[in-house]
């Protein structure tokens, strides 16, 4: 959880305000049963209405304060958790776009989408819960035990037994839940990957008529996700009723023991009533604590996945020399194998010189390394052996951003981004004028743009689907 330290530091003051409100709300909740005990013992039992009004008024005041602290806590908790979540998503996105090609090869895009959405949402829920529920649960539970012990130590022995039994159940729940939630997130990754692949390759699926195969693939993935969801929820489904049963038995035991102690003047009616209320509060807090650990287990799994992204290797440092590129390009005994591949070099002992002003075409069968030569020149990957030189200087000594800005790449598979046609054309030069855009469109023979209703301002869907 250490990766969240900077976010907690950034929002420490609203976080502390929320925590303080939780603590004060918990104190108000703990005072309620004791005040109720005084109303019964000092007012109703002795038929003194002045005491009823006195303690009843105080109880009303405490309840109002508790409501105020609860509302304040909710406001600060919601704002703080959502802002922290937004910062986390932003940092994840910055990291993803700075991935080296090796980093991009390790984590599939469908999995990255799950981590950006589902996993960050889990973290937001956890942070929000810390300020709204998680701190209140132990305060209420421990406080109820202390207040109950002060009221009547004999009756409080039952509470000790109930809490110990529930602690064992929670420990079992944690050990069983974590591996299940880790597998559940992996299943969600697979689901996103399958759907994303279909959406990207929908035309290919239609062309080859492979609807049945794709449907079966989705069915298998969906079935796996369903089974893992059931498996992860099964632990909670079984543990929660057992906890309720344990606390219910404890409540019955309090009433039974109280009926024995009352004739012996070892317990007063108000004490027994207060104990039942404290038992209800303990039940509520224990259920909250169970939920705390369930959310913690899920968040722990999500955190590991988020950390994997944040720890992934970034693109090459931009600390190299910025200079105008000119002169010859030379590949000198270059050997390279893709990190995520079989280890067989895509390029082996390649040597060639492209002289300044020369045009060069590289031809060969699929997989012969033609595209790899372009990727290496742009430093999407670094060579394993050998050198790539521009005007006699190793490109590893050059600033990566400066290098790429001076090399025009036309990929084999064109990519259109969601936005206007104008925004897509300006990808290479954000300051491009309308005249320069017109020239580019004419050279590309893309005159169909002028027949579109909004021409350059026409909106494109992702990958140009429309």
Domains and CATH numbers, the chain: 2-310 (1.20.1560.10), 329-405 (3.40.50.300), 419-464 (no CATH)
pLDDT value of position 137: 77
Q: What's the rounded mean pLDDT across residues 360-382?
A: 82
Q: Going along 339-428, which residue ranges are E strands? A: 347-354, 385-390, 393-394, 419-420
pLDDT tens digits, 42-82: 766 667 777 778 777 888 888 888 889 888 888 888 888 88
pLDDT value of position 105: 62
CA distance 157 to 152: 9
Contact 132, 350 (CB under 8 A): no
Which residue, 375, 359, 295, is CA-closest to 131?
Answer: 295
Mean of all residue pLDDT scores within the chain: 78
Contact 137, 285 (CB under 8 A): yes
- Residue where the block lists tokens 């589902």: 118
Which pLDDT band, with edges at 50, 70 and 90, does 224 fall under?
confident
Which residue, 148, 170, 172, is CA-closest to 159?
Answer: 148
Token pair, residue 230, equals: 């059931």
Which of helix, strand or coil describes residue 267? coil
Measured CA to CA in angstroms, residue 143 lies from 32, 138, 170, 397 at distances of: 12, 8, 19, 64
Measured CA to CA in angstroms, residue 208 lies from 84, 200, 202, 205, 213 at distances of: 46, 15, 10, 5, 11
User: Residue 99 forms beta bridges with which residues?
Assistant: 314
Report the run of H or E that residue 387 belongs to, with start and end: strand 385-390
pLDDT value of position 267: 64
Contact 376, 337 (CB under 8 A): no
Report the run of H or E that residue 350 belongs to, with start and end: strand 347-354
Contact 111, 99 (CB under 8 A): no
CA distance 321 to 367: 33
Which pLDDT band, with edges at 50, 70 and 90, does 338 fall under?
confident
272 class by beta-carbon count within 10 Å (0-12 exposed, 13-18 middle, 19+ buried): buried
Please check the confidence at residue 454 and state whether its pLDDT lies above 60. yes
CA distance 387 to 217: 44
Beta-carbon neighbour count of residue 405 at 10 Å? 13
- 392: alpha, beta or left, given left = phi > 0 and alpha = psi -120 to 50? left
Which pLDDT band, with edges at 50, 70 and 90, does 317 fall under?
low
Question: β-strands 459-460, 419-420: how paired?
Answer: antiparallel
CA distance 465 to 442: 23
State residue 383 phi and psi, 5-degree precision.
-65, 150
């Amino acid at each position: 959880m250490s990766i969240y330290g900077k976010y907690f530091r950034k929002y420490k003051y609203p976080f502390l305000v929320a925590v303080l409100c939780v603590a004060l709300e918990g104190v108000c909740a703990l005072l309620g049963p004791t005040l109720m005990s005084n109303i019964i013992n000092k007012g109703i039992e002795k038929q003194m209405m002045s005491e009823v009004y006195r303690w009843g008024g105080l109880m009303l005041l405490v309840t109002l304060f508790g409501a105020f602290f609860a509302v304040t806590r909710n406001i600060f908790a919601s704002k703080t958790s959502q802002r922290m979540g937004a910062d986390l998503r932003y940092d994840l996105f910055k990291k993803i776009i700075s991935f080296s090609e090796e980093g991009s090869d390790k984590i599939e895009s469908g999995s990255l989408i799950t981590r950006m959405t589902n996993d960050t949402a889990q973290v937001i829920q956890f942070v929000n819960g810390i300020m709204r529920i998680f701190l209140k649960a132990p305060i209420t539970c421990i406080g109820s035990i202390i207040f109950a012990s002060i009221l009547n130590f004999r009756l409080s022995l039952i509470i000790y037994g109930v809490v110990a039994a529930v602690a064992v159940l929670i420990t079992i729940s944690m050990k069983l839940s974590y591996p299940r939630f880790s597998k559940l997130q992996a299943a969600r990754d697979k689901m996103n990957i399958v759907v994303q692949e279909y959406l990207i390759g929908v035309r290919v699926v239609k062309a080859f008529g492979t609807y049945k195969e794709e449907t079966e693939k989705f069915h298998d993935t969906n079935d796996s996700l369903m089974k893992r969801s059931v498996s992860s929820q099964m632990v909670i489904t079984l543990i929660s009723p057992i906890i309720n049963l344990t606390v219910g038995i404890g409540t019955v035991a309090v009433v039974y023991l109280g009926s024995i102690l009352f004739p012996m003047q070892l317990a007063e009616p108000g004490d027994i009533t207060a104990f039942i209320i404290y038992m209800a509060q303990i039940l509520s807090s224990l259920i909250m604590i169970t939920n705390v650990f369930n959310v913690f287990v899920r968040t722990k799994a999500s955190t590991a996945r988020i950390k994997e992204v944040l720890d992934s290797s970034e693109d090459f440092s931009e600390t190299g020399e910025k200079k105008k590129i000119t002169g010859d390009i030379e590949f000198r005994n270059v050997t390279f194998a893709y990190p995520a591949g079989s280890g067989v070099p895509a390029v082996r002992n390649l040597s060639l010189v492209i002289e300044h002003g020369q045009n060069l075409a590289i031809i060969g069968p699929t997989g012969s390394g033609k595209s790899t030569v372009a990727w290496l020149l742009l430093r999407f990957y670094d060579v394993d052996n050998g050198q790539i030189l521009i005007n006699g200087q190793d490109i590893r000594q050059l600033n990566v951003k400066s290098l790429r800005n001076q090399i025009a790449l036309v990929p084999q598979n064109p990519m259109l981004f969601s936005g206007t046609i104008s925004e897509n054309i300006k990808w290479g030069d954000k300051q491009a004028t309308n005249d320069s855009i017109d020239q580019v469109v004419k050279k590309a023979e893309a005159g169909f743009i002028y027949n579109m209703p909004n021409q350059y301002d026409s909106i494109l869907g992702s990958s140009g689907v429309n």
